[in-house]
């Protein structure tokens, strides 16, 4: 595990296995990470049409709380005890205070998704105050381990009104270690309850740990041989954390003091750069293309110059198998969530389609995020949903292009100019307008002044009005700005 925290503006953590990037976590100081935070909020609006409420958390956008994420305590208060499908308007009222936890970050214009099913993660356990259930993470697949952990939970003194889940990091742990984690979590929840009783909505009640502690807590396993940190303060924080929760592994934390930047020294900087690209090359000349929208990700597998067998069906099968493993890796590294549609190269044989499905399913097992996959269609399409663990790398580090507004394309100068002439004609035909300034990007202004000068001159002569084309670097992409003046030279419109 490599922790690059030398720059206070950005923290990056890479998990490297056999010199290959296995996981990457990036957080800038400007990002407002709030997943896992607990708030005392106030219901701003209840929408029966979508069975959801919008909750004021004191953030820029209200949170979204669906009726399915409201626990039984609120249902009972709403007088619907025993109802299996309560209506949101019967459970929550405008102005009501609710204790919620952020389950997903807001994306684009959407606010964060909320739940009233509070969960507090520890090193080995997750405490769930509102669910009276004991269980073991589904990621722990060994039956003997699962049975052993269930027996340990049965022997532990878990508060009656609370539930506990053993995390994947709890596999192989002794009862004493689990009990220590449980004591820490119950003390923490007691402190949270006190803050809830005293806090006035909207208020932040509990804030999740910073990126470094979250990643070490959630992803460190005994298989990680070393944690390298390039910042002395962060090195001490990681060492102290491991010393308190996993003392035997605290010695694996080392401070890097080399002159070469940490990620370059370990050969992962170039691998990280590749996850920003739209195209990912595969061995043999094939490649995949990944496009992301607000709630959907499209992945296209292209054969390119890939040929391995004389039989096209066999070649397609071999390519799709390689692509399946790479797609699963890219989804994890980029943390792409929501609905994901993968278009594999067409295969006619059913057995090949099922084999590629299995390859993708097996590769997804290495992912901590929950996913659900449908069978491949006869057109080679696989649909799956993946839990969003954090904002994707693209959303965390990039902003939308102001010129193309995220489309990736700009209108041609010719098209923009024709549209500008239409709008210019409308402006000149207004009685009170005698002069119009057209502000456009230098490229568009040059095109108007040359290729379309005769059209503009004809308008001026016919209407006895004046047009001036003004190059303006501020007008990027497809935008043009019109400033109109009356006969006395006063500006009368700007749009």
pLDDT for 127-142, tens place per residue?
999 888 889 988 788 8
Q: Is the pLDDT of residue 209 over 90?
A: no
The most confident of the ranges 244-253, 262-271, 454-463 is: 454-463
Give the model confidence (pLDDT) of 279-326 as tens digits.
999 988 899 999 988 779 999 999 888 776 678 889 899 999 999 999
Give the model confidence (pLDDT) of 90-110 as tens digits.
899 999 999 999 988 877 678
Does 108 or 222 have the greater pLDDT score? 222
Give the model confidence (pLDDT) of 350-396 as tens digits.
999 999 999 999 999 888 888 999 999 988 999 999 987 666 666 66
Percent of the chain topping pLDDT 70: 94
Task: State the Cα–Cα distance between residues 26 and 102, nearest whole angstrom.
Answer: 19
Looking at residue 386, what is its pLDDT? Answer: 92
**To 10 degrees, what angle do helices 175-198 and 143-155 make?**
60
Phi-psi map region of 51: left, alpha, beta (phi>0 left; psi -120 to 50 alpha): left
Looking at residue 32, what is its pLDDT? Answer: 67
Looking at residue 326, what is its pLDDT? Answer: 93
Report CA Rg, the chain: 29
Average pLDDT over every residue of 164-182: 88
Structure tokens at 235: 């090195």
- Please report which confidence band the pLDDT of residue 409 belongs to, taking 50, 70 and 90 as the band edges: confident
Average pLDDT over every residue of 146-165: 90
Q: Is the pLDDT of residue 436 over 80?
A: yes
Sign of CA dihedral 94, 97, 100, 104: positive
Task: State the Cα–Cα distance between residues 281 and 302, nearest whole angstrom.
Answer: 10
Looking at residue 75, what is its pLDDT? Answer: 64
Looking at residue 246, what is its pLDDT? Answer: 79
In three-state form (DSSP H/G/I as H, E/B as E, the rest C), the secondary structure along 407-437 is CCCCCCHHHHHHHHHHHHHHHHCCCCCCEEE
User: What DSSP line would sit under 212-270, residue for residue?
Assistant: HHHHHHHH--TT---EEES-HHHHHHHHHHHHHH-GGGGGGEEE---SS-HHHHTT-HH
User: What SS3 state is found at 201?
Assistant: coil
Looking at residue 60, what is its pLDDT? Answer: 86
30-34, 172-176, 332-336, 474-478: the lowest-pLDDT one: 30-34
Looking at residue 322, what is its pLDDT? Answer: 93
Q: Which domains does the chain have, with CATH numbers?
A: 2-32+209-270 (3.30.420), 38-115 (2.40.50.140), 120-206 (3.30.230), 277-397 (no CATH), 413-494 (3.40.1260.20)
Average pLDDT over every residue of 225-244: 93
Report the mean per-residue pLDDT for the chain: 88
Q: Is the pLDDT of residue 256 over 70?
A: yes
Q: Is the pLDDT of residue 495 over 90?
A: no
Looking at residue 248, what is its pLDDT? Answer: 86
Q: Is the pLDDT of residue 440 over 70?
A: yes
Task: State the Cα–Cα distance between residues 253 and 229, nearest whole angstrom.
Answer: 7
- Please report which confidence band the pLDDT of residue 494 belongs to, taking 50, 70 and 90 as the band edges: low
Looking at residue 185, what is its pLDDT? Answer: 92
């Amino acid at each position: 595990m490599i922790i690059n925290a030398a720059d206070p503006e950005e923290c990056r953590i890479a998990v490297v296995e056999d010199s290959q990037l296995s996981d990457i976590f990036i957080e800038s100081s400007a990002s407002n990470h709030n997943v896992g935070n607990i708030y005392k909020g106030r219901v701003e609006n209840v929408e029966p049409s979508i069975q959801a409420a919008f909750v004021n958390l004191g953030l820029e956008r209200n949170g979204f709380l669906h009726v399915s994420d409201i626990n039984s305590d609120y249902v009972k208060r709403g007088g619907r005890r025993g109802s299996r499908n309560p209506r949101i308007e019967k459970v929550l009222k405008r102005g009501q205070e609710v204790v919620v936890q952020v389950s997903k970050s807001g994306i684009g214009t959407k606010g964060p998704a909320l739940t009233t099913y509070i969960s507090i993660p520890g090193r080995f356990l997750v405490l769930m105050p509102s669910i009276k259930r004991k269980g073991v993470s589904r990621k722990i697949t060994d039956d003997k381990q699962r049975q052993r952990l269930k027996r340990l939970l049965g022997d532990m003194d878990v508060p009656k009104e609370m539930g506990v889940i053993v995390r994947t990091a709890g596999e192989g742990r002794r009862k004493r270690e689990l009990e220590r984690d449980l004591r820490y979590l119950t003390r923490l929840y007691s402190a949270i309850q006190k803050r809830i009783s005293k806090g006035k909505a909207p208020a932040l009640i509990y804030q999740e740990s910073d990126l470094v502690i979250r990643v070490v807590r959630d992803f460190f396993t005994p298989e990680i041989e070393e944690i390298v940190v390039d910042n002395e303060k962060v090195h001490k924080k990681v060492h102290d954390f491991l010393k308190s929760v996993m003392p035997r592994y605290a010695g694996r934390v080392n401070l890097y003091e080399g002159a070469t930047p940490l990620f370059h020294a370990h050969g992962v900087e170039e691998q990280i750069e590749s996850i920003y690209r739209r195209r990912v090359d595969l061995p043999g000349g094939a490649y995949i293309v990944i496009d992301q929208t607000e709630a959907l990700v499209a992945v296209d597998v292209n054969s390119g110059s890939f040929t391995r067998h004389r039989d096209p069906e066999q070649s397609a099968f071999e390519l799709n198998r390689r692509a399946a493993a790479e797609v699963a890796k890219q989804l994890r590294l980029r943390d792409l969530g929501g609905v994901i549609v993968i278009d594999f190269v067409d295969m006619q044989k059913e057995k090949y389609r099922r084999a590629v499905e299995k390859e993708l399913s097996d590769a997804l097992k290495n992912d901590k995020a929950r996913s659900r996959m449908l069978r491949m269609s006869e057109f080679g399409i696989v649909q799956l949903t993946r839990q969003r663990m954090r904002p994707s790398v693209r959303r965390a580090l990039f902003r939308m292009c102001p010129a193309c507004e995220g489309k990736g394309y700009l209108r041609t100068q010719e098209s923009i100019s024709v549209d500008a002439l239409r709008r210019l004609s409308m402006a000149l035909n207004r009685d009170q307008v005698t002069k119009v300034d057209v502000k456009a990007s230098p490229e568009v202004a040059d095109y108007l002044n040359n290729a379309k000068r005769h059209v503009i001159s004809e308008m001026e002569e016919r209407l006895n009005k004046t047009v001036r084309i003004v190059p303006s670097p501020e007008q990027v992409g497809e935008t043009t700005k019109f400033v109109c003046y009356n006969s006395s030279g006063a500006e009368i419109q700007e749009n």
